[in-house]
Amino acid sequence: MAAEDLEWERSKISNQDLNTLKRLGLMKKEDAIRFPSEESYPNPPMEYRPMIKDLIRIGSQFIGYREYASKTEEKLAEANNRADALIQKLEQSEAARQKAELVASDAKAEADEAKAKVASVEELQKRLEDAESALNEHKTAQAAREEGILKRLKSQIRRTETQTNQGFDLENPVDDPLLDTLSYLELHGSEIREGVSNASAGLSTLFPYFFPKKEEPPTFLALAKSFNSSKTLD
Query: Do residues 223 and 204 make contact, with C-beta atoms less than 8 angstroms apart?
Result: yes
pLDDT tens across 118-171, in order?
888 888 888 999 999 999 999 999 989 988 888 888 888 888 888 777 777 777
pLDDT tens across 162-213, in order?
877 777 777 788 888 888 888 878 888 888 888 888 888 888 888 888 888 8
Last residue of a domain, one of 60, 86, 112: 86
Residue 7: pLDDT band with limits 50, 70, 90: very low
Which residues, 6 or more positions from 192, have their beta carbon under 8 angstroms from its beta carbon? 160, 164
For the entire predicted model, the pTM comes to 0.43
Is 61 contained in some domain?
Answer: yes
Question: Distance between CA atoms of 184 and 159, rounded to whole angstroms?
Answer: 12
Q: Which pLDDT value is given to residue 8?
A: 45
Q: Which pLDDT value is given to residue 47?
A: 59
Q: Which amino acid is at 74?
A: E
Range of the domain at 222: 203-234
Q: Which pLDDT value is given to residue 51?
A: 65
Residue 4: pLDDT band with limits 50, 70, 90: very low
Is 18 contained in some domain?
Answer: yes
Q: Which pLDDT value is given to residue 100?
A: 84
Q: Regarding predicted confidence, which is higher, 112 or 54?
A: 112
pLDDT tens across 91-124, in order?
888 888 888 888 888 888 888 888 888 888 888 8
Last residue of a domain, one of 37, 53, 86: 86
Which residues, 6 or more positions from 88, have their beta carbon under 8 angstroms from its beta carbon? none
Last residue of a domain, one of 28, 52, 86: 86
* Domain total of the chain: 2
Q: Regarding predicted confidence, which is higher, 110 or 4?
A: 110
Is 106 contained in some domain?
Answer: no
